[in-house]
Amino acid sequence: MKTIEKDQLCQRVRRGLRAGEFALAFQGVYNVKTGALSSAEALIRWLHPEYGTLLPDAFICTIEDPAVARDMTYFVIKSVSRQLGQWQHEGRPVFPIAVNVPPSVAMSEHFTQHVERIARSNGITPGLLQIELSEAEDATRVLASKGLMAGLRELGVQIAIDDFGTGYSSLAMLSAMNIDIVKLAKELLVEVPVCPRACAVVSATLNLLQTLRLTVVVEGVETESQAKWLAQWPHVLTQGFYFGRPTFGLANLPGCKRAPVRHLELVSA
């Protein structure tokens, strides 16, 4: 995309955020064995007045602009906090919700204070928010710095690394990163359980993360055979179309206020 076109898109996204053209969809995170809803991830959507609902691929390049990254991040945090606060006020059960945060925003001055203020002003504890950094060179550097994340963790906010197993999120960085949750990249699961070598890679990774006492979310679970294979690790959490697609409104999440969406018997590969 040309620089001029990208600048125009950045300006249009910021106007759209102010005009209320953006909304949140939610995708649940489930216990692989019981199907119980554990948490959810907030996913931003652009309800464009001319083009309809646009997925992030249409505008994600704009977060390279610091102003867009800041505005979009705080829009999501405020929207999530508002929904959780409303649910809590109505006496409904609440659960943690992950918010994707660009490393540049996570490193910005007063980020921790802003997160705490937004959460408490909506009547929720900051611990109901999970900060999820996408796999990138900057993300691994941020997560390797205990000082940058210390304030959030003191508030009870859990820190997650997304798309682990690709790009810059190497095993060498795993021992250094100050995190609570690892989300395995969906690419790792594509050939599971058909390909023995793919199964061996995922098995070794899950066993390692379990030894490190990290919460593991496996992304991209789309078939029953994948879910049954993963049920060998009963504490693993899963996210993917098999358990539920993204949906507008927390109340529409599969498993929310209802019985678990599925129960899987352990089946070996």
**Pairing between strand 247-248 and 158-164?**
unpaired
Give yes or no for residue 128 having a pLDDT over 80.
yes
- Which residue shows structure tokens 């190497």? 170
Domains and CATH numbers, the chain: 3-252 (3.20.20.450)
* Predicted pLDDT at 263: 46
Q: What is the pLDDT of residue 139?
A: 74
Distance CA 50, CA 15 (A): 14
CA pair distance 59, 159, nearest whole angstrom:
25
User: Is the per-residue pLDDT at 134 higher than 50?
Assistant: yes
In 3-state terms, the chain is what percent helix, strand and coil (to 5)?
Answer: 45, 20, 35
Distance CA 93, CA 91 (A): 7
Q: How does pLDDT run across 211-264, given as a tens digit for each residue?
A: 999 999 999 999 999 999 999 999 999 999 999 999 998 888 988 764 444 444
Q: What average pLDDT does this structure show over 88-115?
A: 92
The phi, psi pair for 123, rounded to 5°, reads 80, 20
* 260 cis-preceded (ω within 30 degrees of 0): no
pLDDT digits (tens, 9 = 90+) for 5-49: 999 999 999 999 999 999 999 999 999 989 999 999 999 999 999
* Token couple for 198: 């793919």
Nearest 5°: the CA angle 59, 65, 66 is: 130
- From 18-32, 58-72, 143-157, 197-211, the region with the lowest mean pLDDT: 143-157
Structure tokens at 75: 């829009």
Do 89 and 29 contact (CB within 8 A), yes or no? no
Q: How far apart are CA 204 and CA 196, in angstroms?
A: 12
- Tell me the per-residue pLDDT of 144-196, one tens digit each, with 9 for 90 and over: 776 778 899 999 999 999 988 877 666 777 877 888 999 999 999 999 999 99
Q: Decide if 19 contacts 237 (C-beta within 8 A).
A: no
